[in-house]
Amino acid sequence: MSLIVQKFGGTSVADADRLRNVARIIIGAYRAGNSVVAVLSAQGDTTDDLIEKAREINPGASKREMDMLLSTGEQISISLCAMAIQAMGYPVISLTGWQAGMHTNSDYSAARIKRIRTDRIRRELDKKKIVLVAGFQGINRSEDITTLGRGGSDTSAVALAAALGADLCQIYTDVDGVFTADPRTVTGTHQLEEITFDEMLELASLGAQVLHNRSVEMAKRYNVNLEVLSSFSGKPGTKVKEVVSKMEKSHVSGVAKDKNVARIALIGLADQPGIAFKIFSLLAKRGINVDIILQSIGRDGSKDISFTVAKGDAEAAHQVMEDNKQAIGFQNVEVNTHIAKISIVGAGMVNNAGVACKMFEALFSAGININMISTSEIKVSVLVDEREADRAVQAVHDRFFNEFGSEG
């Protein structure tokens, strides 16, 4: 007998029919002799709708109250799904994050799981019950409800799988698995049979929301047997694992797009030691994460530095720079929130000098200008104008994966 953790996303539980469909999948695993814990997301656009409701009342609501509100979405799903399973004649119990022992830190709206007390879940499993757990939520040391950040139910599921020592963690979603790019916006994509944790972590961090990046981080750390599959098609999904048996022919596993990027450029800095240190320590002190950094060559004693931050941090970063204009010493600061980051990811690119070049060539052929470039062993990212983002992803994807564009 195996222990399986399954997770169902918002589209998969959006209405009564879909909840019944999910109930049938869960019961199928249970009837096959497994212990089953299923983590559910809020139905459809519930989380977005709740955020909108809060905005109508108070756009500056505290994060604590936001978490109190947003956690209700998942509670609706687990109770309704439990009712569907009861109606089909199987023993089931639904548990909130708190009841399931999900303890987090107090970082409201972006809480991190600290530990999971699994005794309640185990007791229910021992009673041969199917256990449904509300995703995305936990409880902090003050016994307040916290949430894990958008898309966080994936992380709830993987964390539970790790804590319970589950044999398998299945992330059921609205596409058949992980594809070479978002199959909803890019044509000619194909599904990957398997992908490494490292590549999936990069893809997820670079904008492929099919998995929450922290869920992949956790799966890697605890070596969780992870699979992404559709709750609709019944087709085999994508396995996410430490080592995959075959490498993609083209050295690249996927292309991702992230529109949550803003670029801050500081023009006319003195070309002398200590400037970068000043800028980035000011940002670090305010907890603003910086991604890509570019410094121009110094000329006539002057240089420029630009860097990217998440869109939500752009205003704060801008303000910090303005507030410290004298101390840093620059002529002016420019903020651009109309950009997007396009990335290629692949463990196979580390030993292949031509991969980045192929990406740049694809963008050149499409007449798309590159603003910034950043590379690592397994990825190349470029910044482009937001309006060109979709065309850029398609052009790069065609170049690597389309049989006419690819050199293999």
Q: Which residues bind Mg ion (CB under 5 A)?
A: 9, 151
- Name the DSSP letter for residue 42: P
Q: What is the separation of C-alpha 308 from the centre of its chain, rounded to a whole number of angstroms?
A: 18
Q: Judged by CB under 6 A, which stretch of 87-95, 150-158, 342-350, 377-385 contacts ligand ASP?
A: 150-158
- 247, amino acid identity: M
When the beta carbons of 48 and 385 are compared against ligand ASP, the nearer one is 48
Structure tokens at 238: 């994508």
Pairing of strands 226-230, 102-104: unpaired
179 in contact with ligand ADP (CB under 6 A): yes
Binding residues among 149-168 for ligand ADP as defined by CB under 6 A: 151
CB 230 within 8 A of CB 176: yes
The secondary structure of the chain in percent helix, strand, coil, rounded to multiples of 5, reads: 40, 25, 35
Pairing of strands 372-376, 379-385: antiparallel
- 5, amino acid identity: V
Helix/strand/coil for 202: helix
Half-sphere exposure of 227 (CA within 13 A, CB side): 18
Q: Indicate which of ligand ADP, ligand ASP, Mg ion, none lies near residue 135 (CB less than 5 to 8 Å, by partner kind).
A: ligand ASP
Q: How far apart are CA 278 and CA 85, in angstroms?
A: 58
Binding residues among 6-35 for ligand ASP as defined by CB under 6 A: 9-10
Q: Mask of contacts with ligand ADP, 247-286, x by CB under 6 A?
A: -------x--------------------------------
Structure tokens at 50: 């709740």
* DSSP secondary structure string for all residues of 209-257: TTS-HHHHHHHHHTT--EEEEETTT----EEEESS-SS--TTS--EEEE
Q: Judged by CB under 6 A, which stretch of 24-32, 177-185, 286-294, 348-356 contacts ligand ADP?
A: 177-185
Q: List the alpha helices (DSSP H) in 262-388.
A: 275-285, 311-323, 325-328, 354-365
Q: Indicate which of ligand ASP, Mg ion, ligand ADP, none lies near residue 210 (CB less than 5 to 8 Å, by partner kind).
A: ligand ADP
Of the residues 84, 134, 175, 219, which one makes contact with ligand ADP according to CB under 6 A: 175
181 in contact with ligand ADP (CB under 6 A): yes
Beta strands in 148-218 (DSSP E): 168-173, 194-196
41 in contact with ligand ADP (CB under 6 A): yes
| Shortest distance (Å) from residue 121 CB to ligand ASP | 19
| Shortest distance (Å) from residue 366 CB to ligand ASP | 33
Residue nearest to Mg ion (CB): 151
Q: Which residue has the tokens 């992803």?
A: 393
97 in contact with ligand ASP (CB under 6 A): no
96 in contact with ligand ASP (CB under 6 A): no
Binding residues among 55-84 for ligand ASP as defined by CB under 6 A: 73
Residue nearest to ligand ASP (CB): 153
CB 21 within 8 A of CB 50: no
Q: Indicate which of Mg ion, ligand ADP, ligand ASP, none lies near residue 79 (CB less than 5 to 8 Å, by partner kind).
A: none
Of the residues 42, 208, 240, 384, which one makes contact with ligand ASP according to CB under 6 A: 42
When the beta carbons of 228 and 279 are compared against ligand ADP, the nearer one is 228
Q: Indicate which of ligand ADP, ligand ASP, Mg ion, none lies near residue 320 (CB less than 5 to 8 Å, by partner kind).
A: none
The residues that touch ligand ASP, with contacts defined as CB under 6 A, are 9-10, 41-42, 47, 73, 135-136, 150-153
